[in-house]
Amino acid sequence: MAKKKSSRKTTKKSPRKKASSKKPKKPTKPQKAAKKPAQAEVVDSYTYNSKNIPIAITIKKEPSSFVPTYDVSIASLSKTTEFILEKIRMELIKQVNLGIIDITDTKKAEVVEKRFKDTISTLVDKYFPDQEDEERGFLKSYLVAKALGLGTIELLMDDTLLEEIVVNKAQTEPVWVYHKNHGWLRTTIVLRDEEQTQHYASIIGRRVGRQITVLEPLLDASLDKGDRVNATISPISTMGNTLTIRKFSRDPWTITRVLKSGTLTAEAAAWVWMAIHYEMSCIIAGGTASGKTSAMNCFANFFPPNQRVISIEDTREIQLPSFLHWVPMNTRLPNAEGKGQVSMEDLLVNSLRMRPDRIIVGEVRRKTEAETLFEAIHTGHSVYATFHANNAEEAIERLTNPPISVPKIMLPAISLIIVQFRNRRTGARRTFQIAEITKHSEQNVLLQYEPKKDKLVKQNKSTYFVQTLKLYTGYSDAEIKKELKEKQKVLEYLVKQDIIDVDSVGMVIAEYYTNKKNLMKYVNANKPFISSVKHDAA
């Protein structure tokens, strides 16, 4: 029995063990290979030259960041070249002794910079005698930027697609830029320390005869080329020293570019041209960054070539064709002692003594400026100004109420209000309204932007603008309609022929005023334009 029991036990257990031991194991799942880090998506790339230094830009969308990266690549230098450049730098320090007096003394700044550049040129020629002129030019520019300029930041100044260059703090945060096509971007440039930011601010201050110190921790300056610079240092900016450079556009907007971008239709632009042609004053309104100054630049293309134009701005952004009779003027900030300020009102009053035919005012902000502006219009001058308001009705409300308080009876002196608009979601800039001011000082919207159609559509018939045109030109309705169509045809011709830069557009408009018959011959045949005036734009 024992054996049987034993046997049963064995036979009972054995199969289990056997089954257990021989039971096929579930096939193990192959381990997933480690995920490769997601690759950055290249959004855009291009190259440009900055002072003979080739720069390559790549804009990437990194998977780990909400903001795209502006990757800056400067032409690489070999180790040997870097070693020689360092040797040149050390020799440069010996040959050109920049004492503290030289650095801070504005009068000596130009002399010192010339000594630096001359010595750099001599040393590069000495150490690189066999290099091509282009290569030596690159090395000289590189050393000058390192020794006297803003380093890599200065190289960004030549990227025509950048509107703003910003340093928020050094070491832990990169330099930011505002790109015309991609908005705010983080760059691959990081400043070494807070002292470097302050050093750059001091260099800018020296160029304009200003200083930035603990006692004067704010700097606001305009550079020679029109770029606007703001700098702050600790303890005013608590996170670190800051630098904000708003670049002056080297490639200003023209009416052709506006038409091609869809900001404005040729029909609407013809109405604006009609107003400017017959010396009617206009205000360009809009919110911040809506494109008011760009629109002003475009509409200034319509000025006749035989009239004197005076522009008044805080920072020079208007750029007219080189052959126009044009006097650009800029305001000036007070010095460290609070003296020497030249305000927009000062320049506006002074401009009335300069026999202008057209006056462009960068922006009307205060009561005194508005009063002077309307006084200028009522004394027979054509005035064009920018103004902060989101629509025509708001523009009238702001002009006629405190703190500006222009008497309502004066408003009909402004023939058109052109309102610019920026879509915050898409970044697109559009002309939002074109409105006339009636004799009762009310707005009558002629054209209104329709977002779903993405274009300006007719809103109301003109009552006052056309009436004024008839009064001063003697035109009939048919003649006004004919001229509007003619101007629209010229504008469409500019787009078809891709006539895009300031001088080329200006030449076509000037031909319209001086030899319309010759111009329309090319417009009607859609052939490349040849001016009847032999003009050297240089």
Q: How many CA atoms lie within 13 A of 304 on its CB side?
A: 17
pLDDT at 125: 83
CA distance 358 to 361: 10
Give the whole-angstrom CA distance, residue 325 versus residue 330: 17
What integer pLDDT is reported at residue 318 of this predicted model? 86
The separation between CA 391 and the C-alpha centre of its own chain, rounded to angstroms, equals 23
- Cα–Cα distances (Å) from 3 to 12, 13, 66, 311, 357, in that order, read 14, 15, 79, 120, 129
pLDDT by residue (tens digit) across 374-411?
Answer: 988 988 899 999 999 999 999 999 999 999 999 999 99
Residue 10 DSSP SS3? helix
Confidence of residue 339 (pLDDT cuts 50, 70, 90): confident
In DSSP notation, 78-118 reads -HHHHHHHHHHHHHHHHHS---HHHHH-HHHHHHHHHHHHH
Residue 482: both structure tokens together: 């004919």
Q: What sign does the CA torsion over 251, 166, 143, 220 have?
A: positive
Mean pLDDT confidence for 217-234: 84
Indicate the pLDDT class of residue 338, thresholds 50, 70 and 90.
confident
Highest mean predicted confidence (pLDDT) among 61-65, 152-156, 279-283, 361-365:
279-283
Run of H or E including 281? strand 281-286
Name which of 16-20, 69-73, 94-98 the model is least confident about: 16-20
- Round to whole Å and give the CA distance between 330 and 50: 27
What are residue 42's DSSP bridge partners? 60
Q: Say which amino acid occupies 355.
A: R
In this prediction, residue 537 has a pLDDT band, given cuts at 50, 70 and 90, of very low
**pLDDT, average across residues 517-526:** 96
Domain ranges of the chain: 50-246, 255-473
Let me know: does 351 contact 312? Beta carbons within 8 Å.
yes
Strand partners, 524: none
Contacts of 229 (CB under 8 A, 6+ apart): 204, 219, 220, 221, 222, 223, 243, 244, 245, 246
Q: Are strands 41-50 and 53-61 parallel, antiparallel or unpaired?
A: antiparallel
Token pair recorded at residue 224: 């020679």
The SS3 assignment for 272 reads: helix
The architecture that CATH gives domain 50-246 is 2-Layer Sandwich (3.30)
Torsion of CA 66, 70, 76, 77, to 10 degrees: -100
Assigned token pair, 517: 């018959």
Consecutive H or E run containing 195: helix 194-207
CA–CA gap between residue 397 and residue 349 (Å, rounded): 25
Q: Is 238 left (phi over 0), alpha (psi -120 to 50) or beta?
A: alpha
d(CA 408, CA 404): 11
- Rounded Cα–Cα distance for residues 483 and 515 (Å): 15
pLDDT at 81 over 80: no
What is the pLDDT averaged over residues 301-317?
Answer: 90
27: confidence class by pLDDT, cuts 50, 70, 90: low
> Residue 417's closest CA among 348, 372, 483, 464?
464
- pLDDT greater at residue 231 or residue 146: 231
pLDDT (tens digit, 9 = 90+) per residue, 99-154? 433 444 545 556 666 777 788 888 888 888 877 777 777 777 777 766 667 878 88
Rounded to whole angstroms, what are the CA distances from 506 to 290, 445, 501, 503, 535? 24, 29, 8, 5, 12
Beta bridge partners of 384: 282, 360
Q: Which neighbouring-strand residues pair with 419? A: 285, 433
Lowest mean pLDDT among 34-38, 255-259, 367-371: 34-38
Q: Does the pTM of the predicted model rise above 0.85? A: no
Averaged over 471-484, what is the pLDDT?
A: 95
**Rounded to the nearest 5 degrees, what angle is found at the Cα of 280, between the Cα atoms of 279 and 286?**
130
What's the pLDDT band for 29 if we cut at 50, 70, 90? Answer: low
pLDDT tens string 193-222: 999 899 889 888 877 777 888 888 988 877
What pLDDT does residue 192 have?
87
Q: Enumerate the β-bridge partners of residue 219.
A: 231
Sign of the torsion formed by the C-alpha atoms of 329, 330, 331 and 335 = negative
Do residues 372 and 348 lie in contact, with contact meaning Cβ atoms separated by under 8 Å? Answer: yes
Percent of the chain surpassing pLDDT 90: 52
Cis before 63 (ω within 30): no
pLDDT computed for residue 148 by the predictor: 67
Name the fold adopted by 255-473: Rossmann fold (3.40.50)
The span from the CA of 489 to the CA of 467, in Å, is 24
Convert the pLDDT of each residue in 408-458 to its tens digit.
999 999 999 999 998 877 778 899 999 999 999 999 999 999 988 898 999
> What phi and psi values does residue 84 have, to the nearest 5 degrees?
-65, -40
Ranges 156-170, 224-238, 268-282, 509-523: which has the least confidence: 224-238
Residues 172, 149: Cα–Cα separation, whole Å:
22
Residue 62: what are its φ and ψ, rounded to 5°? -80, 135
Q: Are 38 and 123 in contact (CB under 8 A)?
A: no
pLDDT at 128: 82
Residue 77 has pLDDT above 90, yes or no: no
Q: For the chain, what is the mean pLDDT?
A: 85
Amino acid identity of residue 336, one-letter, is A
Contacts of 188 (CB under 8 A, 6+ apart): 69, 70, 71, 72, 174
Q: What pLDDT does 31 receive?
A: 60
